[in-house]
Amino acid sequence: MIPGTVGAGVAQNIGAYGQEVVNTLVSIEALNRNTLKNQVFSPKECGFRYRNTFFKNEWREEYVIVAATFRLKRYEKGEESDRKYHKYIEGMKTYEGLKEELKTFAKEPYSIKNIMDAVIKQREKKLPSLKEYGTCGCIFENPIITKEKYDELEKKIPGLPSYPFEENMVKIPAGKLLDELGWKGKWEGNVGVFDRHALCIVTNREATGEEILNFIKEMQEDVLQKYDVQLGLEINIIKK
Ligand SMILES: Cc1cc2nc3c(=O)[nH]c(=O)nc-3n(C[C@H](O)[C@H](O)[C@H](O)COP(=O)(O)OP(=O)(O)OC[C@H]3O[C@@H](n4cnc5c(N)ncnc54)[C@H](O)[C@@H]3O)c2cc1C
């Protein structure tokens, strides 16, 4: 449900609902463009972080991912695995949309299959169909801010969701900030924001790169001015 190739998925450390590719990754094989030899890396060596890796930035000109090995977890009946399983399910349930979706077709205790179906249903409802629109996907990273900053923001946006990150830091949804500022469904010429997801920039397929970039800058400036939060880009911009 996240469009893209395996190589890009790894390079970008794609993720959703608190899960990231790195959680299931065992090794990565990449072609070194200088030596033309393949090298195998462990995830620890590749600078995995939120929506980023060395492959996406530091090593961008050096390596091309050609293979990746994943290991999925099997949750057998048993005390320790059950505990982990329930922790995982509880974690997923902190996402309001998912929680509401689950209630419509499943009963607790939810299975992994229930969660998967709920994620698919949610994404089909919220994200633009690639058949209908040109889209650059989710443009902005969810900002990671201090708890103090969060308390300040929550006064302006009551009920602003937050997800624990590192000590004294939380992740907040960029989409919610943009939504509050009225960006959802707003269009300027050939570029717009999807009317069901404020993070998704869509086009009528006529937009130039410059139009899209200007639109992105306007969104960033608006959030900075109103909330003093700098929206970082999830995408790499390649200038000509
Ligand atoms: C509707 C929609 C919803 C989305 N939802 C999510 C989401 O929920 N979560 C999320 O994380 N992303 C999401 N995305 C973003 C997108 O799906 C991912 O970024 C995906 O990785 C893009 O894949 P791509 O093949 O188009 O890669 P590209 O956009 O072509 O590349 C992405 C990055 O990876 C690098 N790269 C690509 N292939 C390789 C390779 N083989 N070796 C080394 N580097 C490589 C590129 O240089 C670039 O920096 C969404 C996008 C859309 C359109």
Q: What's the pLDDT score for residue 72? A: 87
2 in contact with ligand 1, CB cutoff 6 A: yes
92 part of a folded domain: yes
Task: Tell me whether residue 153 is exposed, middle or buried, using C-beta atoms within 10 angstroms of its C-beta: 0 to 12, 13 to 18, 19 or more.
Answer: buried
Q: Is the pLDDT of residue 19 over 90?
A: no
Specify the CATH number for the domain of residue 188.
3.90.78.10
Q: What's the pLDDT score for residue 77? A: 67
**Which residues make beta-bridge pairs with 14?**
none
Q: Is the pLDDT of residue 37 over 80?
A: yes
For ligand 1, atom 31, name the residue with the nearest CA. Answer: 8
Q: Helices 79-92 and 112-126: crossing angle, nearest 10°?
A: 20
Identify whether residues 10 and 61 lie together within a single domain.
yes
Identify whether residues 121 and 138 lie together within a single domain.
no
149 part of a folded domain: no
Identify whether residues 61 and 85 lie together within a single domain.
no
Among residues 38, 53, 70, the one where a domain terminates is: 70
Identify whether residues 138 and 216 lie together within a single domain.
yes
Residue appearing with tokens 């509050």:
180
Structural domain of 24: 6-70
240 part of a folded domain: no
Residue 92's pLDDT band (boundaries 50, 70, 90)? confident
End-to-end CA distance of the chain: 31
114 part of a folded domain: yes
Q: Specify which of 55-59, 91-95, 127-131, 161-165 reaches the highest per-range mean pLDDT.
A: 55-59
Distance set, CA 130 to CA 64, 190, 222 (Å): 26, 16, 27
Q: What is the DSSP letter of 135?
A: E
Q: Is the pLDDT of residue 163 over 80?
A: yes
Identify whether residues 199 and 222 lie together within a single domain.
yes
Specify the CATH number for the domain of residue 12.
3.30.465.10
Q: What are 108's two structure tokens?
A: 């607790």
122 in contact with ligand 1, CB cutoff 6 A: no
32 in contact with ligand 1, CB cutoff 6 A: no
pLDDT digits (tens, 9 = 90+) for 20-34: 999 999 999 999 999
For ligand 1, atom 36, name the residue with the nearest CA. Answer: 8
21 in contact with ligand 1, CB cutoff 6 A: no
Q: How many separate domains does the chain show?
A: 3
Q: Specify which of 85-99, 130-144, 217-231 reaches the highest per-range mean pLDDT.
A: 217-231
138 in contact with ligand 1, CB cutoff 6 A: yes
Q: What's the pLDDT score for residue 149? A: 96
Identify whether residues 103 and 60 lie together within a single domain.
no
Q: Please give the model's pTM, rounded to 2 decimal places.
A: 0.82
Identify whether residues 218 and 138 lie together within a single domain.
yes
Q: What are 194's two structure tokens?
A: 């999807």
181 in contact with ligand 1, CB cutoff 6 A: no
Give mean pLDDT, residues 116-134.
Answer: 88
9 in contact with ligand 1, CB cutoff 6 A: yes
For ligand 1, atom 12, name the residue with the nearest CA. Answer: 14
Residues 3 and 127: their CA atoms lie apart, in Å, by 11
Percentage with pLDDT > 90 across the chain: 66
Among residues 47, 70, 93, the one where a domain terminates is: 70
Q: Give, in degrees to the nearest 5, the angle at Cα 109 between 106 and 113.
A: 60
Q: What share of the chain is helix, strand, coil (3-state, %, to 5)?
A: 35, 20, 40
Q: Which atom of ligand 1 has the smallest separation from the CA of 128?
A: 1
